[in-house]
Chains A and B, each alone.
Chain A
Amino acid sequence: MFFGFEQKDLEKGKQAFRTDATHDTEEVPVFTWGDESYDGLGDALQEGGDELNDETFGSVGLVGKDFDFSNTTLPKSSGLPNEQALPPQKFAEPASSDTLYALRRKQDFTTLDSDQPFSSSSQSAESIWDNRSLLSSLPQLDGIFNQSKQAFAEAPVSELPMPQTQKWAPQSSNSGIRTLEEIEAEMRAAAHQSRVQQRELSLQQQLQQEEDRRQQTLHEQELQRQILHQQEQQHQLYLQRLLQQREQQYQRSTPPRMLPASQSPRFLEQQRQLLLLQQQQRAQELQEQLMLEEMERQLLARAALQQQHRQSPIPPSHHRPPSLTPDVYGYQRRQTRSQSPMNNDHRYPGIPQESSPFPSPQNIQLQQRLLSEMAQAEFIRNIQNQDGQGINPVEQEALRAEAMRKILEAEKMEEKRRRKAAKIAYMSRYNDLMTQSDKDFITRIQVSQLVTQDPYADDFYAQVYGAILRSRMGLQSQDERVLIFGSGGGVGLGLNGPKGGGRRPSAMQRMEQQVERIVNNTRKREEEKGVHALQSLQGALGKTSGRSYKAAPRQLLQVDPASGASPAISQAQAFKDPGDRVSNGAEEAAKLGRATLGKAADTTNLIRREPLTQRETLTILEHLYDLVLHVEQLRRDHSLAQDEQQTVEWQQQYDTLVDEIWDSLRVMVPLETSDPHPFISLLIPGKGKRLLPRITRHLSDQKMMTLLTLLVACFSQLDVIKQASVIDYSQDTLERAEAERQTQAFLGNAFQCILPVVAKASLRLVTGLLGLLLDRSNIIMVAQTRPGLALLTLFLSRVELIKADMVNVPEEFEVPTPEEAQQWQLVYDHFFQLLGPHFPMLFPSARMATATDGQVSFDIIDQPAWHFFAALGLHAVPEQQHVLITALREKILDNVTSANKGWVRNDEERQLKLDNVNLLLHVLNLDSSLIVL
């Protein structure tokens, strides 16, 4: 039966809320449920300036509201003058009534009277206040009150019609605007005393209420009304207590959805806000009145001042020092303070129009004008005084200027200060809009996008680039710049990393905590579900509506609770039959070893295959890249291994991977399997060439030796040899550019990784390699390419070094046997003989000249050829030297002539030409200067 009424009221209330637009803006509840960091708006209302409460609450009489144009705070009483809305003055209140009750009653009457036809909005206000109380049936009660007013007036206590101020006096005198909590505290105390009585009464009251409803137009007797009144009061207290308890409860734990609608936090919040709004409105009224008063006072003072000035003789006591500024400031400060008593302690500058009214622009202007006029007046006064003391007009003028300047300065300062204050106020409009939990929530989302299981790999490029930069700058290379959290997650810090000091550490700490929480939550959820599907992580961090984060490329946190393995690098595929392959490899190694010495490769039990297709090559290369990345990651993780066992495990893992790489490189595949050999095929794409140095870092010397042997044996199969003739065209075609690029890549990468192997090779090996090259390749063609020439030069200079070492430090060096030396000489002779007729063609310029008219400067591109000839000349016996000189005579003479006769563009070119020639001639103990034309 109560229920029916309630529902009706709520329905009406809802409608009222919908229709009343102003309501909506005001009553949007702020949800801070169950949060420790509830912002405590209610508490914040308790503000300074209590000393003026007397003025506010009555001593100045009724506060008009006709200046309150915005009038958004209490829309129910809108449009009606306040006097009309305050019948409690006419209505005699029983003296025993509680203050809260008075407040409530006043309000009820306010709303009731202002909306004479009981519109839904008035009821909605009540439904906000108290759904269950008797007040919800106030339309009826009001009738009762009206009818019993006369009888009431006869009652002895209520004979004195109390003015509103007296009713408010007890509260305002001690604490000013009171918060709901305070009121509640009072109520609680009262309730405690009368708890026993109250139970009875509430019972009675229910009965009474039923009766009331039944006889709606009932004429109540005085006694009954009083009882009712009392009951109502008790009920109010009871309800208050209940509400408070509930509030505390839900603040502690209860999820908001569990509460029935009427008791939902939203409802409570609305109630709280209503009270708050009323208080704010009152405060505002107070402010405005104060301001007005202040203005009036100022105007009066100003008038008086001006009058004073006009009546010239000023008493000497008014004489002030000429410097005005401090005084002006003081005055101003006083002014400001007195105008806004809340300014001293406004914790919420975000809502200045309510809690801390800034002076309106007009007001400020007026104030400014006042100030300047005051200053001027003072100045005039001073002048006048000084006049009396006989100061000359020049000084006067100076003083005037000085004073004006000071005034202007003061004004400027003031303007600046005001602008600053306005800006701060503007910026702080949205202060405290978000609670700490809101911020945490957002941080969590953001952080979850950053944290990964393998921070190093995910930040790979930045990390590597940073390491390179640091090493280039000569800083000692710290290891990984990543932030690893306890539970395995981490964040890559990019290039800069955290800068120490300041607030960063605490931010880091906070982030770490957040991450801990996320990771733990995710784990927990994972365990609960028992499924390791990736989908189960969806929504692990709470729901975020909207698509923004889904559109982000990175997935939510990817934590695999089962393994700590890096997800960034795909698991290395387990390779099949390792034992089988190894044994095969051993056989092949043996074969290759024989091949190294220039003997024919064993071609028995050889399976010829088609060469690798382009796609196969690329696939293998991608696989190799995966493996290499994995191995490199392992190398970095090496430092993490602490004890013996871990190191052993690590070593095993590492070896397995390196073996797999070795197998994938296909170095051990028999030589004649295909043309090009699979390994050579892998070197054809640019990325294959670039990959090789990264692989060879992990290979043993023995393996490197094998690799080098294979490379030399199949040298002519390389694309850079086959395609080399393309470079000799001087036309700028795509093809040529590509060949150029490949050659560069080969020389810069693949060739670099065989350098150290050759540099350690014995004479026997070098002899074998050169023999192999001569045997298996068209040496003339190879020598006409840049990589070929480089390789040959490498061999020749290595042998030269060995020879030098034999002479210089024979005890340290593994001296080659005479047979080996003899073998070398044989191979060399053979080589010289083969190449002899083609010497001039080894110059790129010579080859190009045949293709084009040769306008280009060739000296730079010819340099490797000169180097080669120098190396060749070192080993040559005198007859061979003679052959060499004869073959190159024309070229040498050409260079020297050009240099001497000045057929060069500049000195640099001339020098280059001579240097090139001298490279060779010095080896033969000659010099270009000896050549006489």
Chain B
Amino acid sequence: MDPSSSSIQEPFDLIRLSLSERVYIKLRGDREVTGVLHAYDGHMNLILSDVEETILIVDPDSATEAPVPVNVAKRKMDMLFVRGDGVILVSPPSRA
């Protein structure tokens, strides 16, 4: 389709496509977030609603030899402001 190709001129146009859609966001510090994207800006600050955050907690003290256990903590929030400097990746959620 012609408009679909021509209207994308910069990376942010792709993020714009995901407005009010569910997105998957990878953050620094082993955090992941999925939520409905409401707004973003040039710093990649994001506003998400209906968010589920996943934090991977690695505990290096428990055992040095064996594979380090990874704990997963999850929490839900209605509305979230994500500061742009922590954002590594923004993508539409995989549609299996």
Contacts of A738 in B (CB 8 A): 22
Distance A538 CA – B60 CA, assembled complex (angstroms): 53
Q: Which residue from B1, B2, B6, B20 sits with its C-beta under 8 Å from A685?
A: B20
Distance A738 CA – B13 CA, assembled complex (angstroms): 25
Distance A690 CA – B42 CA, assembled complex (angstroms): 26
Question: In the bound complex, do residue B4 and residue A616 qualify as a contact, i.e. CB atoms below 8 Å apart?
Answer: yes
Question: In the bound complex, do residue A685 and residue B3 qualify as a contact, i.e. CB atoms below 8 Å apart?
Answer: no
Looking across the interface, which residue of chain B has its beta carbon closest to that of A621?
B17
Total residues of chain A contacting the partner, CB 8 A: 20
A573 adjacent to chain B (CB < 8 Å):
yes
Distance A614 CA – B52 CA, assembled complex (angstroms): 23
Contacts of A553 in B (CB 8 A): 41-42
Looking across the interface, which residue of chain B has its beta carbon closest to that of A666?
B1
Q: Which residue from A619, A687, A734 sits with its C-beta under 8 Å from B4?
A: A619
A618 adjacent to chain B (CB < 8 Å):
yes
Question: In the bound complex, do residue B95 and residue A614 qualify as a contact, i.e. CB atoms below 8 Å apart?
Answer: yes
Distance A573 CA – B1 CA, assembled complex (angstroms): 14
Distance A615 CA – B16 CA, assembled complex (angstroms): 11
A76 adjacent to chain B (CB < 8 Å):
no
Distance A619 CA – B13 CA, assembled complex (angstroms): 9
- Give min CB distance, B60 to chain A, whole Å: 32
A623 adjacent to chain B (CB < 8 Å):
yes
Question: In the bound complex, do residue A614 and residue B3 qualify as a contact, i.e. CB atoms below 8 Å apart?
Answer: no
Q: Which residue from B7, B41, B42 sits with its C-beta under 8 Å from A623?
A: B7
Distance A620 CA – B17 CA, assembled complex (angstroms): 9
Contacts of A612 in B (CB 8 A): 1
B8 adjacent to chain A (CB < 8 Å):
yes
B1-37: CB near A (< 8 Å → 1, else 0) gives: 1111011100001001111111000000000000000
Looking across the interface, which residue of chain A has its beta carbon closest to that of B43?
A553
A68 adjacent to chain B (CB < 8 Å):
no
- Give min CB distance, B11 to chain A, whole Å: 14
A98 adjacent to chain B (CB < 8 Å):
no
Given A553-B41, A553-B42, A618 contacting B7 (CB threshold 8 A):
no
A593-621: CB near B (< 8 Å → 1, else 0) gives: 00000000000000000001011101110
Distance A734 CA – B2 CA, assembled complex (angstroms): 34
A310 adjacent to chain B (CB < 8 Å):
no
Contacts of A615 in B (CB 8 A): 4, 17
Contacts of A620 in B (CB 8 A): 1, 3-4
Given A576-B2, A616-B1, A622 contacting B7 (CB threshold 8 A):
yes
Give the bracket for the number of chain B residues in contact with chain A.
20 to 34
- Give min CB distance, A673 to chain B, whole Å: 13
| A315-347 CB contacts (< 8 Å) to partner B | none
Contacts of B19 in A (CB 8 A): 622, 687
Question: In the bound complex, do residue B3 and residue A618 qualify as a contact, i.e. CB atoms below 8 Å apart?
Answer: no
Q: Which residue from A622, A734, A737 sits with its C-beta under 8 Å from B17?
A: A622
A58 adjacent to chain B (CB < 8 Å):
no
Question: In the bound complex, do residue B1 and residue A619 qualify as a contact, i.e. CB atoms below 8 Å apart?
Answer: yes
Question: In the bound complex, do residue A686 and residue B20 qualify as a contact, i.e. CB atoms below 8 Å apart?
Answer: yes
Contacts of B52 in A (CB 8 A): 734
A670-699: CB near B (< 8 Å → 1, else 0) gives: 000000000000000111001000000000
Question: In the bound complex, do residue B41 and residue A619 qualify as a contact, i.e. CB atoms below 8 Å apart?
Answer: no
Contacts of B6 in A (CB 8 A): 573
Question: In the bound complex, do residue B92 and residue A622 qualify as a contact, i.e. CB atoms below 8 Å apart?
Answer: no
Looking across the interface, which residue of chain A has its beta carbon closest to that of B18?
A618
A367 adjacent to chain B (CB < 8 Å):
no
Question: In the bound complex, do residue B20 and residue A687 qualify as a contact, i.e. CB atoms below 8 Å apart?
Answer: yes
A727-740: CB near B (< 8 Å → 1, else 0) gives: 00000001001100
Distance A616 CA – B52 CA, assembled complex (angstroms): 27
Given A619-B17, A685-B20, A664 contacting B4 (CB threshold 8 A):
no
Looking across the interface, which residue of chain B has its beta carbon closest to that of A660?
B3
Q: Which residues of A contact B (CB under 8 A)?
A: 553, 573, 576, 612, 614-616, 618-620, 622-623, 664, 685-687, 690, 734, 737-738
- A selection of 26 A-B contacts at a CB cut-off of 8 Å is A553-B42, A573-B3, A573-B6, A573-B7, A612-B1, A614-B95, A616-B1, A616-B4, A618-B21, A619-B3, A619-B8, A620-B1, A620-B3, A622-B13, A622-B16, A622-B17, A623-B3, A664-B3, A685-B20, A686-B20, A687-B20, A687-B21, A690-B20, A734-B52, A737-B50, A738-B22
Of all A-B residue pairs in the complex, the 10 with the closest CB atoms, nearest first, are: A619-B4, A618-B17, A687-B20, A616-B4, A623-B3, A616-B1, A623-B7, A622-B16, A686-B20, A619-B7
Known: A612-B1, A618-B18. 20 other contacts (CB 8 A): A553-B42, A573-B7, A576-B2, A614-B95, A615-B4, A616-B1, A616-B4, A619-B4, A619-B17, A620-B1, A620-B4, A622-B13, A622-B16, A622-B17, A622-B19, A664-B3, A687-B19, A687-B20, A687-B21, A738-B22
Q: Which residues of B contact A (CB under 8 A)?
A: 1-4, 6-8, 13, 16-22, 41-42, 50, 52, 92, 95
